[in-house]
Chain A
Amino acid sequence: MSSLAQSSDQTPRAPLHAVDQSTPQSAIIAFELQRAANRRRDAIVSSLGLAIGLGLVVWAFHASGFSSNTFGQDSLEKAGQFIFRMDPELEGDLLFEDRTTKGSLAHWFARWPQWREALIETIEMAVVATALSAFFGLLAALASARTTMPIFWVRWTTKRLLEAIRTFPDLILAILLVSLFGLGPFAGLVTLTISGSASLGRFFGEVLENIDKRPREAMRASGAGPLQQIRFGIIPQTSPVLTSMTFLRFETCIASATTLGIVGAGGIGEELNRALTYNQIESYLAILILIIGLIVAADLASGVLRARLSRERMAR
Chain B
Amino acid sequence: MNQTLRQDAYAIAPDIVRPRLIERAKRLAPAVVVTLIVLLCLIDLDLDLDRLANWSEIAGRMVAGLLSPTPGDNLEEILAALIETMAMAIAGTVLAVSLALPLGIAGSRTVISHPLAHNGIRFVYDLLRAIPALIWAIIIIRAVGLGPVAGVFAIGLAEAPYIAKLFAEYLDNIDAKPRNALIASGASQFQAFRFAILPQILPQYVGLSLFFFELNVRAAAALGVVGAGGLGVMLEDRLGYAAFDEVAFMIILLLVIVAIVDMISSRLRQKIMGNDQISWG
Residues of A that sit less than 8 Å from B by CB: 1-3, 6, 56-57, 59-66, 70-71, 75-76, 78-79, 82, 120-121, 123-125, 127-128, 131, 164, 167-172, 175-176, 179-182, 184-186, 189, 255-256, 258-259, 262-263, 272, 276, 288, 291-292, 295-296, 299
Contacts and interface: CB of A to CB of B under 8 A. Distances in A.
Given A56-B90, A66-B152, A70-B145, 13 more contacts: A57-B90, A57-B91, A61-B94, A61-B152, A63-B84, A64-B151, A71-B145, A78-B144, A167-B259, A169-B218, A175-B225, A258-B132, A288-B135
A288 B45 contact: no
- Of A63, A79, A125, A184, which is in contact with the most chain B CB atoms at under 10 Å from its CB? A63
Nearest to A298: B130
A222 B38 CA distance: 37
A3 B144 contact: no
Contacts of B139: 82
Interface in B24-60: 34, 37-38, 41-42, 44-49, 51-52, 55, 58-59
A124 B41 contact: yes
B271 A185 contact: no
B197 interface: no
Residue among A123, A168, A299 with most chain B CB within 10 A? A168
Interface in B197-247: 198-199, 202-203, 206, 218-219, 221-222, 225-226, 229, 232, 235-236, 239, 242, 247
Nearest to B44: A124
Contacts, number: 177
Interface range on chain B (Cβ under 8 Å from partner): 35 or more
Contact of A75 (B127, B143, B219): B143
B143 A2 contact: no
Interface in B84-106: 84, 86-91, 94
Interface of A is mostly: helix
A1 B198 CA distance: 7
9 contacts: A1-B199, A75-B143, A124-B42, A124-B44, A170-B222, A176-B239, A184-B48, A184-B51, A296-B127
Contacts of A62: 87
Contact of A169 (B126, B148, B222): B222
Contacts of B258: 167
A309 B61 CA distance: 47
Interface in B261-276: 271-272, 274
A71 B144 contact: yes
Contact of B235 (A172, A186, A272): A172
B202 A1 contact: yes
Contact of B219 (A3, A71, A169, A180): A169
A165 to B, nearest CB: 10
A181 B57 CA distance: 11
A288 to B, nearest CB: 7
B147 interface: yes
A78 B143 contact: yes
B271 A82 contact: no
B254 interface: yes
A59 B91 CA distance: 9
Nearest to A10: B271
B174 interface: no
